Amino acid sequence: MIDIKLFTKSVEKTEIRQFSDRIIDSVKSRFSNLNHGDWDRWSSVIKTLPDNNHTKIQLDSDVITIGNSDDVDNESRIFLESSLRKLHPWRKGPFKVFNILINTEWRSDYKWNRLKNLISPLKDRVVLDVGCGNGYHCLRSVGDGAKLAIGVDPNILYFSQYRSLQKYLGETPVHILPITLNDLNFEFQAFDTTFSMGVLYHSKSPIEHLLQIKSTLKSGGQAVIETLVIDGSVKDVLMPEGRYAKMKNVWFIPSCLQLELWLKRCGYKNINLLNVTKTTINEQRKTDWMTFESLEDYLSKDFQHTIEGYPAPLRAIFTAEVP
Ligand SMILES: C[S@@+](CC[C@H](N)C(=O)[O-])C[C@H]1O[C@@H](n2cnc3c(N)ncnc32)[C@H](O)[C@@H]1O
């Protein structure tokens, strides 16, 4: 489960307070219906992590750093590392926990560095991250001054990874909820910034997704949308016939101009394209914390196409505001 006491305390001084009970009920309902073969194993990893009351947390650096090497003895560090490795695969990061470097599949800091100086400053903002994975970007949001960051992602492994880190994060106002935005099923109109990064192309109804993101934001709030795009005109959208880069669940990959049109038609204003970047094998790669296949295995030899023959992954970041 989530830490209900800390969650209630974190939302107390924000507009999210009014939704607090309903959010907690949604999370409880998720756990009461949870039927995941690995949950008992992951949850016992979290329960047996060694206690530690260190003070140093650094959330505003590329490698999120929790504690120092001097805070734990060697035996505890070895136990901690083997526990954290049981939560394999670690996809988003990197993190350093008591000097144990969790070298994740993705350098999620690359994405953050592309957007952090171009979005509305996060200082004192209330942030939602839809499809937050293990919470890396929520932690970076608080590192950049957000007063609260809530992440939603139904993946129980990523939730377990966050819970393992949360053990050492004190009262950091970040809460990762193992549910989808649909599970919350109400219009917040309460967040200052909502991130949707790496989620739109997984959505069967991208317009519905953009409208849902809009409904989370208060008037003047900012959506940060990051997704796969293709080169092309306002008329171009790629719908893969089957898999895209071996992923089964990729539905629509628009051109930037087409995505801009979607945002306009959804009623967003001040739409800005911040960045377009080709994903490289420096940013997404196999490591000893993620030993499965990675980007290199999904691409043609010259890295220009996916192994299915589609254009290789190109990602755009847009910001758009709610009137
Ligand atoms: C490609 S990852 C992106 C993670 C992170 N946002 C990033 O940019 O690195 C997509 C994540 O979205 C989650 N996801 C997919 N559909 C979702 C939904 N409807 N609501 C919330 N999360 C979703 C998946 O579980 C996965 O962790």
The residues spanned by each domain of the chain are 4-321
Q: How confident is the model at residue 35 (pLDDT cuts 50, 70, 90)?
A: confident
- Average pLDDT over every residue of 54-75: 94
Residue 55 reports pLDDT greater than 80? no
Angle made by CA atoms 128, 197, 153, in degrees to the nearest 5: 60
What tens digit of pLDDT does each residue of 182-208 get? 998 778 999 999 999 999 999 999 999
pTM beyond cutoff 0.95: yes
Concatenate the DSSP letters of all residues of 31-60 into one string: HHT---TTHHHHHHHHHTSPP-----EE-S
Residue 9 reports pLDDT greater than 90? yes
User: Across all residues in the chain, what is the average pLDDT?
Assistant: 96
Ligand 1 atom nearest the C-alpha of 133 is 27
Q: Which helix (H) or strand (E) holds 278?
A: strand 269-278
What tens digit of pLDDT does each residue of 233-288 get? 999 999 999 999 999 999 999 999 999 999 999 999 999 999 999 999 999 999 99
> How high is the pLDDT of residue 54?
79
Task: Choose one of 153, 253, 275 to mutate for the ligand 1 pocket test, by most ligand atoms within 8 angstroms of C-beta.
Answer: 153
What is the distance, to the nearest Å, from the Cα of residue 11 to the centroid of all Cα atoms in its chain? 20
Q: How far apart are CA 112 and CA 3, in angstroms?
A: 27
Among residues of the chain, what percentage have pLDDT more than 70?
100
Among the listed residues 132, 175, 118, the one whose alpha carbon sits nearest the alpha carbon of residue 4: 175
- Average pLDDT over every residue of 91-113: 98
Among residues of the chain, what percentage have pLDDT more than 90?
96
Contact 180 CB / ligand 1 (< 6 Å): yes
> What is the Å distance from ligand 1's center to 46 Cα?
22
Q: How far apart are CA 227 and CA 200, in angstroms?
A: 6
Contact 206 CB / ligand 1 (< 6 Å): no
Contact 135 CB / ligand 1 (< 6 Å): no
Ligand 1 atom nearest the C-alpha of 226 is 8
> How high is the pLDDT of residue 53?
85
Q: Please name the CATH architecture into which domain 4-321 falls.
A: 3-Layer(aba) Sandwich (3.40)
Contact 131 CB / ligand 1 (< 6 Å): yes
Task: Choose one of 202, 210, 228, 251 to mutate for the ligand 1 pocket test, by most ligand atoms within 8 angstroms of C-beta.
Answer: 202
> What is the Å distance from ligand 1's center to 56 Cα?
29
> What is the Å distance from ligand 1's center to 51 Cα?
30
> What is the Å distance from ligand 1's center to 209 Cα?
12
What tens digit of pLDDT does each residue of 80-100 get? 999 999 999 999 999 999 999
